Amino acid sequence: MEMEKDNKNIKQCPLCEKHCSLSNLACMRGRQLFDDSDDLFHLMRRCGHVLYHSQEQNNGQGRIIHILSVRGSISQHELQEILNIQPGSLSEIVGKLEAKGYLTKERDEKDQRKMILKVTALGRRSPEEKAYLKCREELFQSLNENEQKEMKKLLRKLLNDWLKIEERTNDKND
């Protein structure tokens, strides 16, 4: 209901480059976001769409620093797989973060071909990570702590069931 109220105050699509009018949506992003269907599947798709695009905007430096902060250290190849970006793009971002003193790169002692990335103390306090964390927090600020816990519980239940279904489907295909 709150999102519907917010949507009524918006006159142009904030997701496309053309900022088309909501009365005449030309972009698929806008059509997906502003579809008024109350169907659970559709609502989940819309939420996923917003989450995806909010992360797309924060897919760079802040997200990398956060991943390194959580993991401690990680190979550049593993990070590339997590982010699902091209090696050259990641190398460019890593180079910028290293130049700022936010991370270090070292050769893996066991496999000299691998580069291991580690966040520095300066990186943990960087404006990029703070912005990334703030964005994540803002996405769920309309839910109180109990609602967030309940939502996590329900999402875990759905995810576990979906993974079991996927596993059974894969077993049948093998």
Bridge partner list, 118: 73, 104
Rounded Cα gap, residues 87 and 77, in angstroms = 8
| Mean per-residue pLDDT, 32-58 | 71
Rounded Cα gap, residues 30 and 35, in angstroms = 8
Per the CB < 8 A criterion, the answer to whether 116 and 74 are in contact is yes
Per the CB < 8 A criterion, the answer to whether 80 and 63 are in contact is no
- Higher pLDDT pick, 23 / 63: 63
pLDDT in tens, 113-162: 899 999 999 998 888 888 888 888 888 999 999 999 999 999 999 999 99
pLDDT in tens, 74-120: 999 999 999 888 999 899 999 999 999 999 999 988 888 899 999 99
Q: In what order do the strands lie in the sheet with 103-107?
A: 73-75, 115-119, 103-107
Beta carbons within 8 Å of 96's beta carbon, 6+ residues apart: 61
Domain ranges of the chain: 1-57, 60-160
- Does domain 60-160 fall into CATH 3.30.1370.30? no
CA distances from 165 to 39, 65, 146 (A): 22, 34, 29
pLDDT at position 72 is 86
Scored b (16 or more CB within 10 A) or e, 145-161 reads eeeeeeeeeeeeeeeee
- Higher pLDDT pick, 14 / 48: 48
Report yes or no on whether pTM surpasses 0.75: no
